[in-house]
Structure 1
């Protein structure tokens, strides 16, 4: 078998490998020197906010931190390559559809607004005003505003997102499918139920004070590398880092900081995880419940021996409800059930619980490894229960930290991108602008796709992102988009969503985060974003735009809005000319943004106050609430082992991609080079299948809805992963994620809970 694509894994995350990779990406961009200069302004008070992840920036000192992910994002955006009208003239849409994601986006930045021509199957250039007029005309002819879907990517600024939601609500709908629906929706739902706010409670400096950090279902080395610097500093001062992750991820084992000259020169690294536990897919809730079981047993032992209690009784009495019911649920859960569902031994769970009990200040972080399961909301409630037991919410060095993906996914939700908006926000809009605000809940991502498929939705506008590749059930989503009357994509580069045109389809090119946004008076515009720690930062691009024909996201939204709803309620052009005016409107309608413009211009921006971090609980009972439900009746790995040759699959990123953007074909942390169609599998599972490393197979989805789902031509890669669980990259494997499988209460696609089997590869 061909195993030439499998090579040596990096000995540690970061280090010289990160520097080499960054240099390679900067060279590929064609602008290595300007790209390097641009990086020096990333996350600086007088520069731009990194277009990569949403990890927080320090409030003190210089915020410049070397980040491989950020360098790749900047190089990708600031490339000198251009996808001009000539690029589209030489290839039909059908031909472009045969390119991989990497090949398509490698053609560079979009330069002109384009309109699809069905007769030639090509995109042709179109004037901005002509595009706006036609889009507005089609939207106005729909028999209901609810026939249109308005998607938002997490790269959109606060100003663009607020203007977008304002336009759409004046238009008359709350149809706001957005990337939050596919990642941290479960976090928002669970945390609002438990503590009254759907955000994390920590600041970045809390990581400097924590005695222990629990990292659950998260891979910061690939997804938010700057977090590794904070984990490294915590580990070096003696904090314990406990990891729960089915996959052995290099960044959570060891990290070599490229900014530490001595460590780099000596070829050294720092151990990150003090404890690395590998639960089965979907087994995190059982593992956390097991730790709670250990805590309650230790409490009983301490009380019987006359020792200080393990639980924080003062905190629990003053701030919490539901403890007795939760304890009953924990005691009713036996160790056999916990071990079977988690895939961990009692001893492993007890060791992790000991770390928790011996720490005065604990932070718990998690990401999509927790949120993309059927029972994700219940799992996050269980995590919150566990943290409440010893008062680890609302004190320095402790708290809950859901780590978001894209740079402003949290900010977009804060400023109104929400298909289920709070009544208070709608009341504020109605009072300030004087129009009848739509009150009915709108569509999330899965509901929007369903509406497109059944014909009740007829138009789609995407503010950034790559909707067709980010969403589940790829073949169905392609069909859904292509049967619409109108598709509009606001983007910086060509992507596969653009190649699934409706009857009328536009690609509208926008400025990137690194580019100057100059208004008609010649003044540079400032935008803002919110990170995972609720810090709001200013951002101003420093590079010349890739094309003189680009408009900002705000300018494009304003143009569509004016053509669709007119300027009777809002003067869109006035707002697009001065983003301070948009921020004035945000301040007038959303609590927490007082003196927005003044505070934004201070170094590091400002923090949006989190009530739960101050032990103020905006819940019906006015207290933090324990959840007392049972463990899931069955997890994906428990279902999989009932059938011969069935496996539990999770999708994740390679180290050379960010969301659906593929920067390259290597994943050096996992030892895979020049290949993306791979399946990571335990060596003993390979033997049981009578297969070998490098062998190619088709992966077949196993969802009981009568739809055949097949991911063709994937190679096996032996890896340290629990038996019965496998993993591979999205978006290539999204074809296997069924629309009909969604998180309870969150309605998030279950991209970490996919039942599959293998069959012999079919000939092309």
Structure 2
């Protein structure tokens, strides 16, 4: 099944990692994006030897139907023909993929797994693109080459020999396109399992469950046109400059037209101050920045729900004298549970709201006034809201606030979750769901002629626990870096090492290749930037963005190696080996992805006439019933929720710690040890603290500290050798980088509401190690 390409393969590096410079910290006060981003991009292009391919890719990225979709964030593409709808991190991500460096058999022959395990995450991925399938040889502790045929045979044999299909688990990250996603879930369900964990289980599961409960849909209801006409934007728990940089354009445009912009985050990030939009050439030439906020609020970690409750309380109090403060007609016609919610707000004291939010009443009144003065408001949020014990309740509180003023089902208003990965929403839409609804399974059975299992499968945490017990024996990772994305790092490592077989489908070397089962395979795949040649010609794949737009992506570059396969081809190869008597035409599907889309059009609600509609300019938008004020809830209305405020105030002597990315990072991919927007250079093993908390503990700047987390079950986990840096963060709060700090989040510390690991709310003690 290997493809033939005429690009010569370049020798891979065999040298070890290079030493890094001394740590440096100086708070960053420049606008987001602008010349700082341009300089950073230039450095990356030079470092990766992409001075020709890089600019070519920049001119093709995010272009409707003729270019490839950025493999970074899921922010929607511009709808007005912008030719540079790009960002610094997207260019880094693409250049990182297009590197000329290669990792093949010579590299693995020169470096054992034990040696590579001691390399940093940056040093591993910096070696370049994987070029051929590899299998772990336990006798030599090296990966060695294996043919695709033999690799598929290993997978097929392991899956066929299981006592039960639920002894396998099939993980996917957000990089997987829709067509491959559909084949992947079809393979798992034809095998007989719903064990389909994905990165949503660790990021926006809370958002989906909350929106489903409140509105009957697991997605946001707004699109870019709504962002362009909103009077007020509330941005909660989002570091846009790093995680959704193209949002900066929307924020700058909103400020120019006079919209109010409120950022809510324990840290005032660069995106919440000023920006110079790179494709605004005049502003770039004049070094002219634009404000991206009109108000910044810094609640304590986990205090967002109390802030929202306070804003709702203000609106309800205002309605006593100003009837138009509420949209009573909307509430009466389209909602259920309003009177109970009103009573809850009235019974919640300002003392409790201030204590739990960490904000003064005056600041909450400012935010509430922005909301009540605006005719059309959007509330947008990311992991700073969802990765908490009470994440579902907090997202439902967002919906409560929107419902009070009828901010739903009309232009410029509604909920807008920010998905952080390029196709994570498409993965869920196209069947990656460990709790699939019966309606979906019924259609899958009818269209594809299989009998899918009905019992719920395992999510991410459930899979790790099952591997640890020995109940899951085969783990397949379709993209991502599971070993370092997951919580409780030693526990996750032990779980993966308990498997009989681990399979990683990847483009570059990462930690998950070095933490493996008794048997292990590395299966290298095409990247989003590369041409996908199949028997039916060059293929395109589709992706869904954060706002439910589905569009095509077509690679532009020759593959990094003639031995690479596409993700659909790899899935089909595994499926045929595991299901030799399957009636599914796996090979036929791979020949022409239009065939996959024709089947998806029959099996997936909203994908009717898929092949035609996805080729329309900008693709098509999947219908969101709640946008049309159709609520698929038990009452047939939008549901107010009445959850009590959680207690998020740290106990004496403890801090609430949130994990986050650095700016020079994308998920677990580390581009460097720098974090430009926070003023850090050559350091990742750090913790940001309030200066008064540091003084109280006798900790100086760059002082070494011991960090110990306290799990729900009373167990502790520790990190030593980290350095403390003073930062503008509320007292009682601290922050540091994932994946280095994932060790602090116990496997048992997950939300009972969403089953998400509590990555943004870890209870810790920090002491000086000086």
TM-score (norm 1): 0.97
CA contact (8 A) 2:712 2:748 kept: no
Alignment correspondent of 2:511: 496
Alignment correspondent of 2:652: 643
Question: Residue 210 and residue 312 in structure 1: after superposition, are their counterparts in 2 closer, same or farther (change >3 A)?
Answer: same
How far apart, in 2, do the equivalents of 1:426 and 1:261 lie? Answer: 51
| 1:442 lines up with 2:457 in the alignment | yes
- Tell me the secondary structure at the aligned position of residue 339 of structure 1: helix
| 1:75 lines up with 2:95 in the alignment | yes
2:596 to 566, 575, 582: 582
Alignment correspondent of 1:56: 76
Alignment correspondent of 1:421: 436
Matches within 5 A, 1:589-668: 589-632=603-646, 634-635=647-648, 638=649, 640=650, 642-644=651-653, 646-668=654-676
Matches within 5 A, 1:19-38: 19-38=38-57
Q: 1:280 Cα shift?
A: 0.2
CA contact (8 A) 1:57 1:63 kept: no
Alignment correspondent of 2:475: 460
Q: 1:601 Cα shift?
A: 1.4
- Tell me the secondary structure at the aligned position of residue 300 of structure 1: coil
Alignment correspondent of 1:529: 543
Matches within 5 A, 1:744-763: 744-761=752-769
How far apart, in 1, do the equivalents of 2:721 and 2:58 lie? Answer: 38
CA contact (8 A) 1:376 1:744 kept: no
- Tell me the secondary structure at the aligned position of residue 344 of structure 1: coil
CA contact (8 A) 1:51 1:70 kept: yes
- Tell me the secondary structure at the aligned position of residue 275 of structure 2: strand
> Which runs of no fewer than 5 residues in structure 1 stay unpaired?
304-308
Alignment correspondent of 1:339: 354
CA contact (8 A) 1:575 1:582 kept: yes
Alignment correspondent of 1:306: none
| 1:196 lines up with 2:216 in the alignment | yes
Question: Residue 4 and residue 109 in structure 1: after superposition, are their counterparts in 2 closer, same or farther (change >3 A)?
Answer: closer
Alignment correspondent of 1:542: 556
- Tell me the secondary structure at the aligned position of residue 18 of structure 1: helix
| 1:160 lines up with 2:168 in the alignment | no
Write out per-residue CA displacement over residues 38-77 of structure 1, whole angstroms, 9 at most, x where no aligned residue: 1110011201000000001122323532300110110110
Matches within 5 A, 1:350-499: 350-499=365-514
- Tell me the secondary structure at the aligned position of residue 167 of structure 1: helix
Q: 1:167 Cα shift?
A: 0.5
Q: 1:668 Cα shift?
A: 1.1
2:106 to 86, 108, 113: 86
- Tell me the secondary structure at the aligned position of residue 261 of structure 2: strand
Deviates more, 1:102-111 or 1:258-267: 258-267
| 1:711 lines up with 2:726 in the alignment | no
| 1:572 lines up with 2:601 in the alignment | no
How far apart, in 1, do the equivalents of 2:601 and 2:106 lie? Answer: 44
How far apart, in 2, do the equivalents of 1:760 and 1:389 lie? Answer: 48
CA contact (8 A) 1:377 1:745 kept: yes
CA contact (8 A) 1:711 1:732 kept: no
Q: 1:760 Cα shift?
A: 4.8
CA contact (8 A) 1:241 1:275 kept: yes
Deviates more, 1:410-419 or 1:591-600: 591-600
Write out per-residue CA displacement over residues 593-619 of structure 1, whole angstroms, 9 at most, x where no aligned residue: 111111111221111011111111111
Alignment correspondent of 2:9: none
How far apart, in 2, do the equivalents of 1:424 and 1:350 lie? Answer: 45
| 1:320 lines up with 2:329 in the alignment | no
Deviates more, 1:250-259 or 1:377-386: 250-259
How far apart, in 2, do the equivalents of 1:58 and 1:760 lie? Answer: 49
- Tell me the secondary structure at the aligned position of residue 301 of structure 1: coil
Q: 1:391 Cα shift?
A: 0.4
Write out per-residue CA displacement over residues 140-195 of structure 1, whole angstroms, 9 at most, x where no aligned residue: 00000000010011000000010000011000000011000000000000000000
Deviates more, 1:26-35 or 1:473-482: 26-35
CA contact (8 A) 2:156 2:578 kept: yes
Question: Residue 602 and residue 64 in structure 1: after superposition, are their counterparts in 2 closer, same or farther (change >3 A)?
Answer: farther
TM-score (norm 2): 0.96
How far apart, in 1, do the equivalents of 2:354 and 2:83 lie? Answer: 43
- Tell me the secondary structure at the aligned position of residue 669 of structure 1: helix
- Tell me the secondary structure at the aligned position of residue 757 of structure 1: strand
Q: 1:32 Cα shift?
A: 1.9
Q: 1:630 Cα shift?
A: 1.1
Q: 1:3 Cα shift?
A: 8.7
How far apart, in 2, do the equivalents of 1:78 and 1:54 lie? Answer: 20
- Tell me the secondary structure at the aligned position of residue 680 of structure 2: coil
Q: 1:501 Cα shift?
A: 1.8
Alignment correspondent of 1:735: 743
Q: 1:259 Cα shift?
A: 1.5
How far apart, in 2, do the equivalents of 1:516 and 1:121 lie? Answer: 34
Alignment correspondent of 2:286: 266
Deviates more, 1:616-625 or 1:693-702: 693-702
Matches within 5 A, 1:69-148: 69-148=89-168
How far apart, in 2, do the equivalents of 1:752 and 1:195 lie? Answer: 26
How far apart, in 2, do the equivalents of 1:266 and 1:198 lie? Answer: 43
Question: Residue 706 and residue 339 in structure 1: after superposition, are their counterparts in 2 closer, same or farther (change >3 A)?
Answer: closer
Alignment correspondent of 2:320: 300
- Tell me the secondary structure at the aligned position of residue 24 of structure 2: coil
How far apart, in 1, do the equivalents of 2:594 and 2:282 lie? Answer: 45
CA contact (8 A) 1:682 1:726 kept: yes
Deviates more, 1:4-13 or 1:734-743: 4-13
Alignment correspondent of 2:25: 6
- Tell me the secondary structure at the aligned position of residue 534 of structure 2: coil
Deviates more, 1:206-215 or 1:705-714: 705-714
How many residues are treated as equivalent by the alignment?
A: 749
How far apart, in 1, do the equivalents of 2:443 and 2:61 lie? Answer: 35
CA contact (8 A) 1:175 1:443 kept: yes
- Tell me the secondary structure at the aligned position of residue 725 of structure 2: strand
How far apart, in 1, do the equivalents of 2:449 and 2:291 lie? Answer: 58
How far apart, in 2, do the equivalents of 1:344 and 1:310 lie? Answer: 23
Q: 1:758 Cα shift?
A: 2.3
Q: 1:708 Cα shift?
A: 4.0
How far apart, in 2, do the equivalents of 1:166 and 1:242 lie? Answer: 43
Write out per-residue CA displacement over residues 283-319 of structure 1, whole angstroms, 9 at most, x where no aligned residue: 000000000000000000225xxxxx21001111110
Q: 1:717 Cα shift?
A: 1.0
CA contact (8 A) 2:473 2:501 kept: yes
Question: Residue 495 and residue 162 in structure 1: after superposition, are their counterparts in 2 closer, same or farther (change >3 A)?
Answer: same
Q: 1:756 Cα shift?
A: 1.0
> Which runs of no fewer than 5 residues in structure 2 stay unpaired?
1-20
| 1:508 lines up with 2:523 in the alignment | yes
Alignment correspondent of 2:201: 181
CA contact (8 A) 2:712 2:749 kept: no
Tell me the C-alpha RMSD between the 2 structures. Answer: 1.2
Q: 1:419 Cα shift?
A: 0.1
Where do 4+ consecutive residues of structure 1 move more than 3 Å?
A: 704-708, 759-762
How far apart, in 2, do the equivalents of 1:269 and 1:156 lie? Answer: 36
Alignment correspondent of 1:687: 695
Q: 1:562 Cα shift?
A: 0.2
Alignment correspondent of 2:37: 18
Alignment correspondent of 1:726: 734
How far apart, in 2, do the equivalents of 1:475 and 1:290 lie? Answer: 40
- Tell me the secondary structure at the aligned position of residue 743 of structure 2: helix
Q: 1:591 Cα shift?
A: 1.2
CA contact (8 A) 2:699 2:768 kept: no
| 1:229 lines up with 2:249 in the alignment | yes
Matches within 5 A, 1:207-286: 207-286=227-306
